[in-house]
Amino acid sequence: MAHVLIAEARFYAHLNDMLLAGARAALDRAGHSHETVTVPGALELPGVIALAAESGRFDAFVALGVVIRGETYHFEIVAGESARGLMALTMDGLAVGNGILTVENEAQAIVRADASQGDKGGDAAEAALALLALRGRFS
């Protein structure tokens, strides 16, 4: 049984609640324990996962958040840099599932976050578990 950290950015709490429900359900179905930590926004997700990894308490990580395009360039920075940070952690050997939605509007986010529709939270948890299994296979 793996112990998984779900790191969630609460900027859009009502949307993140759906992602979180999907991730928790996927981990529960798979029989793994999990903890949740909250950060303010998507840019903080790679940092908190890096800090948690140093503790040695977690086998895998799930990053959840929502980034909705606005009127400024900030969307590109947050979307790109949060993804880059998570990818760097993955390349360093961590099993990280990226559940950060990068969408044009709230309607797109709802479709992707809702467990009965897109279930991207569940998908991110399953991705983290798949990487964990592969890491074990290649060790």
pLDDT in tens, 48-80: 999 999 999 999 999 999 999 988 889 999 999
What average pLDDT score do residues 21-50 get? 98
18 in helix, strand or coil?
helix
Radius of gyration of the chain (CA): 14
Count of beta carbons in the 10 Å neighbourhood of residue 84: 11
Report residue 115 CA to chain centroid gap: 15
The pLDDT of residue 71 is 87
Class of domain 3-138: alpha beta
Distances (CA, A) of 57 to 2, 86, 101: 10, 18, 26
Annotated binding site: 11, 42-44, 66-68, 71-72, 98, 112
What average pLDDT score do residues 113-137 get? 97
Q: Which residue has the tokens 């890096």?
A: 50
Please confirm, yes or no, whether 34 is among the known catalytic residues.
no
The pLDDT of residue 103 is 97
Annotated binding site for (2S)-2-hydroxy-3-oxobutyl phosphate: 71-72, 112
Q: How far apart are CA 41 and CA 14, in angstroms?
A: 14
pTM exceeding the 0.95 threshold for the entire prediction: yes
Spell out the domain ranges in the chain.
3-138
Annotated binding site for 5-amino-6-(D-ribitylamino)uracil: 11, 42-44, 66-68, 98
Q: How far apart are CA 34 and CA 72, in angstroms?
A: 36
